[in-house]
Every structure is written in structure tokens, then in C-alpha cells.
Structure 1
Amino acid sequence: MTSGFPNERSRSRYLEVYEELSDWPVPVTELAVETSFGTTHVHVCGDGPPVVLLHGIMVTSLSWRPCVAGLAPHRRVYAPDSLGEPGRSVQTRPMPDAQANADSLAEVLDRLGHDRVHLAGVSRGGWLALKPSCSAGPLSSPNSRTTRGASWSTSNAVTPVTRSGRRAAR
């Protein structure tokens, strides 16, 4: 089972709670990005150079809510729910290895339509952001006619903020 839920009742209850927690601190739109591995749910907000926020394992894009208020005035923020993890994305095909995970992200980035993006990740998201830089070349979708450049940053590139929008102590 690729959805991660044992049954539809569990999935429905999870999504109810997800919706209750989906109070972004700035106006947000939502995209459903189709890939060969399934549909990736993406929260989008802000204006400026694009940054894609990749969450850790066993959490969702909602984990980035505390950072969005500080980023959105300066960046076009994309926060996807990774396939194979909790959230609103729906995986329809297995991703058996690291390359499949990288390919899935590459397809999402390709469909977002930017020539260049910044990737910020925590835990598994950081690993996923670094995966292409450790392989043969730049992040690119196997079905794309173009190669998407990506830049990677350390965790210092994203400043944690409190719910009030102030910088959190490090």
C-alpha cells in the first residue's frame, strides 16, 4: 500500500486533523502537482525568488508554518507534502530507492516551472535537497527536456521565527 494509511477511515480522520492545523500565517494557495509517482500537494505563498521547503520524515509541510511569515515577503515559497509521508500527497507508484525519491522531487520542481530554485530542508528534506548534488549532475527530471539548476544552503539560510513573527532565539 503506497498511501501509508491502513484504511480509508484512518486517512479521512488524518486529513480532518491536517485541515484543522492548516492555518498558514500568510495567504496561501494550494497546488496538486502530478508526477509519475502520484500527486504532490504543494502550499504556495509569497513573492520573489523561489524557495522550496522540504520537510523531515513522518511530518508534513505544515512543519514549515513558523518560517513562512518571515520568508513570504521576500520569496515565492513552495512547501510540498512529500510522497510516501503523511500529508495530502497521494503516492500511486512505489519509490524503492533514493533515486526514485530524487526523481519525484525533480518532477515536482520541473512542473513548478522555475529555471532555478533554492532548496531548504530539515532531516530527510535536507538529505533530499542534497541528493542531486552528490550524484552525477544537476537536479533534473528524467522526462524533462531541460535541466533545472538548484542551489543548496545550510540550515542557517532559514531563520526560525515565533508565531508572532519575531526571530526565535537560536
Structure 2
Amino acid sequence: MVLFISIYICPNRLLPISISNIHEVLKMKKASIPAATETSLHFKTAKRQSSYDRKYQESLLNWPVPFISFFVPTRFGSTHILSCGPEDGTPLVLLHAMGFSSTVWYPNIEVLAKKHRIYAIDYIGDLNKSLPTATPASREECGQWMDDVLRELQLDTVSLGGISYGGFLALNYTLYAPHRILKLFLLSPAATFVELHPTFIRRIISIAALPMKWNIRRFLGWLSKHKLNSSMVNQFHAAFRYGSLSLKVAPGVYSDDELRQLQPPLLLLLGDQEVISDSGQAYVRATELCKTIQAELLPGLGHMLNLENPAEVNKRLEQFLHS
């Protein structure tokens, strides 16, 4: 069956194409995403949605390669995806950090898209471009949502990567559907191997309750040991200023048995200045339990590894994915 989807190529132009001829679109200029025609449950009103969408679009100006933007239907609503790279490349699915959306991958895309077909997914329940009708309420439902996405993309097997909450989701799906995962990489996965620090939880509550620019900057300055791109800061601020999270599955710690079950090659990168949990303990537990793991503590880095030192992260991702 050919899947037909709507691809936004440039402002004021909507082009329906199929997965089978999508490579023709990839030859065109960089896409621009117009405002959503529906209002997300997260943003409540069209005005708030539009205010967020503008900041999302500004962040996409950092995206270094041509891309396409589209939605796929799932049982939980329409999921927004950014895609780029060679059509015949190995599919690589990327899951972002909470509050940042798929635009967070801009420092890594040029390297990752050399040999991989990228699908950077705005996961349902977070503040992004997806349009949920419901939110997954269990780890099993998170797996069902990802199954729906891959079915609509006509992908049987993929490599998978995630950062922060996206890392937690990526490992969850690897346990849910191990036969579909070729390789798995995790950057600073939220919880997953060790409990979150209570300080992190308090700070998340603080920015949700007081989403002023000064509070957002203070939070991001604590989260990252390096200054973040201003457009990413502005988008993160807009997400919490105009939207409300609907995530129902908190990141948790996987059991010893679950971690021993992991089958695909696994790359784990952690910052030795991590603040949301104890990265040293996470490193020890992961390397003791995961049979196929390559793990590294990166010196001088906090939570947002790919934004703080993309060169070092990209070098390791390239070595892992292309080996």
C-alpha cells in the first residue's frame, strides 16, 4: 500500500506526495512549516498555537540540510515529523528532549543524514508540532504509538536514538519491539538507569508554574554547562509560556531484567556534569547490565550533550552508527 501524506515545501504551497516518490521532494529547497491548520490540545487557542509555531520555525532556520515536514495519523492523534537524508539510507528515528521538540537535533543532522534517512519525531504529549487527541498513559501505549508511526512510514526496522525523555522512550520501544531495532543510542536518558534528582523535578514544576523568560533562562543555565542557541531558548520559553504538557508517563528506572534483555548494539553518552541524575551511577549500572553497550562519560558536559558539544557527540554517533 502506498501511503499518501501532505508535505510542506515552502510557504503557501501544500504538495501531496507518496512515500514512493518522496525522494523527488528531497531534491527541492529547504522546507518551511506554515502554522498548523488545527489547534493542539497543548496550546488551547489558535493565537497561542501560532505564537509557538513562529518560534519553532525560527529554530528550524538552524537546520543545515534540506528537509520535509509532514504528519502521520496514529491512534493518539497526528504526529509531526521532520525528515531528511538519502531515501535509500538506513532509517534513523530520533526522539527529542522534553520541551525542545525535534528542532533540538539541528547540530547533529548534517552528520547523521549523510548515510541515514532521518525521521525526527515530535512525540505525542510534549510541547511540539504534533496534534494529540489523547496521550499515551502507559509504557505499553507509548510502544503502540511508535508502532503506529512506523506503520504509517512503512518501516519494518530502524535505528533509534533519543536524548533525555526521548532516550527513555527510545529504550522503552526497544524493549517493546526488539525485532524492529537495528541500533540504539541514548544521550543523557532521563531516569532510565537511575532515579531523577528531586531538584530536577522541583525545577520542572517551577518553569511550568512560572514560565517567564528569566525563569526559563535560569533553568536552562542550570541544565546545560554551555550557553544554548538563542532560538532554542526562545522556542523552549514559548513552549511553556503558551502550552501545557500532557505527558502521562513519567520517566522511570528500568529493571535489571529489562536492561539485561536489550539486544541491539547500544551507545550511551552521559555528561560528567549531569544535573538531573547521578551520571556516574548510571554509567556503572548500564555497563554492568547491558551486554551490547558502549558507554562514555563526557568531561565538562551537562544534560544537553548534543547542544553543548556537538562535535564530540557527532564523532561518537558517526563511529557507532556507521560501524
Same topology, TM > 0.5: yes
Match in the other structure for 1:100: 141
CA distance in structure 1 between the aligned counterparts of 2:306 and 2:54, rounded to whole angstroms: 27
TM-score under structure 1 normalisation?
0.80
1:87-139 Cα deviation digits (max 9, x unpaired): 1110012322222222111211121112210000011111111113435xx26
Match in the other structure for 1:122: 163
CA 1:71–1:161 in 2, change beyond 3 Å: closer, same or farther? farther
CA distance in structure 1 between the aligned counterparts of 2:155 and 2:54, rounded to whole angstroms: 32
Deviation at 1:161, TM superposition (A): 8.4
What one-letter code is carried by the residue in structure 2 that aligns with 1:18? Answer: Y
Q: Residues 62-141 of structure 1 correspond to what in structure 2 (within 5 A)?
A: 62-135=103-176, 138=177
Percent pairwise identity: 31
CA distance in structure 2 between the aligned counterparts of 1:80 and 1:57, rounded to whole angstroms: 12
CA distance in structure 2 between the aligned counterparts of 1:150 and 1:74, rounded to whole angstroms: 17
Match in the other structure for 1:167: 311
Residue 79 of structure 2 contacts residue 122 of structure 2 at CA under 8 Å; is this kept in 1? yes
What one-letter code is carried by the residue in structure 2 that aligns with 1:13? Answer: S
Larger radius of gyration: 2
Residue 146 of structure 2 contacts residue 173 of structure 2 at CA under 8 Å; is this kept in 1? no
Secondary structure of the 1:18 match is helix
Unaligned runs of 5+ in 1: 140-147
Secondary structure of the 1:76 match is strand
TM-score under structure 2 normalisation?
0.44
Q: Residues 18-97 of structure 1 correspond to what in structure 2 (within 5 A)?
A: 18-23=56-61, 24-47=63-86, 48-97=89-138
Does structure 1 residue 154 correspond to structure 2 residue 267? yes
